[in-house]
Amino acid sequence: MDDYLETNRFNWDDRAGLHATDPTDRYRIERVLAGGSSLHALEASEIGDIADKDIVHLQCHIGLDTLSLRHLGAVSVTGLDFSPIAIASARDFARKAGTEARFVEASVYDAVAALENRTYDMVYVTWGAIHWLPDIFRWARVVADLLRPGGRLYLLDGHPQMFQYKGEGDGHLTLIHGWRTPADAPLLFEETHTYTGDERPLIHQRMYEWLHPVSDVVNALLQAGMRLDFLNEHEVLTWRHYPGMIETGEEQFEQGPGLPRIPLSFSIGATKAA
Ligand SMILES: C[S@@+](CC[C@H](N)C(=O)[O-])C[C@H]1O[C@@H](n2cnc3c(N)ncnc32)[C@H](O)[C@@H]1O
C-alpha cells in the first residue's frame, strides 16, 4: 500500500511545483495573496459559520484554500498534505500573504500523531481528496479523532459516479470503472500533463486512485461516531471532466444542454457526537 501512496506523492510533488507557478492562475494565487478567497461558490455557500473556528484542512495542497479560510474569519488554520513541495509552497504563500497559518507535511493516515493529538472545531476536505485514499473507513476515524465533541466535518468532492464514466467528444458517457475500488487493486492512471492546462510536462506521470461509494463514506463516518447533518449531490464540478461540459460560472462546469444529468459532485456535513 505504501508503494501506491509513494507513487502518488511523487506525482503530487510534480503537480504542486507546477501549480504554485501556474500561468493559468487556476488556483487564484493573486487573489489569496491580496487577502481574498479561493473558495468556489458551492463550498462558500455550504460551509456554514467558520467565524472564530479552529480549522484543519486535510490534503491542503499548496495551501490557498487554507489561507482563504483564515481570510474568511477562521481564528486559526492548519493545512496538512503529504507532498513536501506542496507544503513548502503553502508556507511561502502564507508568508507572502502575511497570513498566520500552520502547514504540516504528513499522510492523512498519520494526521493525528503529526498534529500531536490536537483537536479542532472543523475538518475541511474539498475537491480531489478522498479518491487518493485506499481506505475510507480509516480516513473517517482520522476525521473523528481530529474533531472536538461538537466539531464539524465539511467534505465536498467529485462524485464517485462521475469518476466511473469516460466522456466522449459527442457528449456520450462510457462506463469504464466499477463503483467500488478494492484497496489492494487501485485504478492506475498515466497522465503526461496536469489538469490546469499548463503545457509543462509531469515527470512522474503514474498515479493510483480508489473510488468509494457515497454509502461507504456515510457509513464510515457513522461508524466513526459522526452524526450526518446533510448529504447533497450536485450537478456542478470545478473542472471540465467530460468534453461535453460547459462553464456556467467562475470555474463551475456542468453537463452541456440536452445531455443526461448525473451527480458530478457531492458534499457531506457531519458533526462529532458530544
Ligand atoms: C487535488 S489536491 C486537493 C486540492 C485542495 N482541495 C486544495 O485546497 O487545493 C489533492 C492533494 O491531496 C494530497 N494527497 C494525496 N494523497 C494524500 C495522502 N495520502 N496524504 C496526504 N495528502 C495526500 C496531494 O498531495 C494533493 O496536494
Higher pLDDT, 108 or 169: 108
Structural domain span for residue 181? 2-272
Pocket of ligand 1 from Cβ distances under 6 Å: 5, 8, 12, 59-61, 65, 81-83, 86, 107-108, 126-129, 132-133
The grid coordinates listed for 236 are 456542478
What is the domain count for the chain? 1
Closest-lying ligand 1 atom to the alpha carbon of residue 83? 25
Mean pLDDT for the stretch of residues 151-177: 96
- The pLDDT of residue 170 is 85
The model's pLDDT over 28-75, given as tens digits with 9 standing for 90+, comes to 999 999 999 999 999 999 999 999 999 999 999 999 999 999 999 999
Closest-lying ligand 1 atom to the alpha carbon of residue 133? 19
**Spatial strand order in the sheet of 226-234:** 102-105, 76-81, 54-58, 120-126, 147-158, 265-272, 226-234
The CATH number covering residue 128 comes to: 3.40.50.150
- The pLDDT of residue 22 is 87
- The pLDDT of residue 198 is 87
List, as own/partner pairs, every contact residues 235-242 make where C-beta atoms lie below 8 angstroms and the sequence separation is at least 24, other chains included: 235/261, 235/263, 235/264, 236/42, 236/264, 236/265, 237/158, 237/162, 237/264, 237/265, 238/40, 238/42, 238/127, 238/265, 239/195, 241/158, 241/162, 241/167, 242/165, 242/166, 242/167, 242/171, 242/173
Pocket test for ligand 1, best of 132, 157, 204 (most atoms within 8 A of CB): 132
Burial of 92 (0-12, 13-18, 19+ CB in 10 A): middle
Q: How confident is the model at residue 1 (pLDDT cuts 50, 70, 90)?
A: low
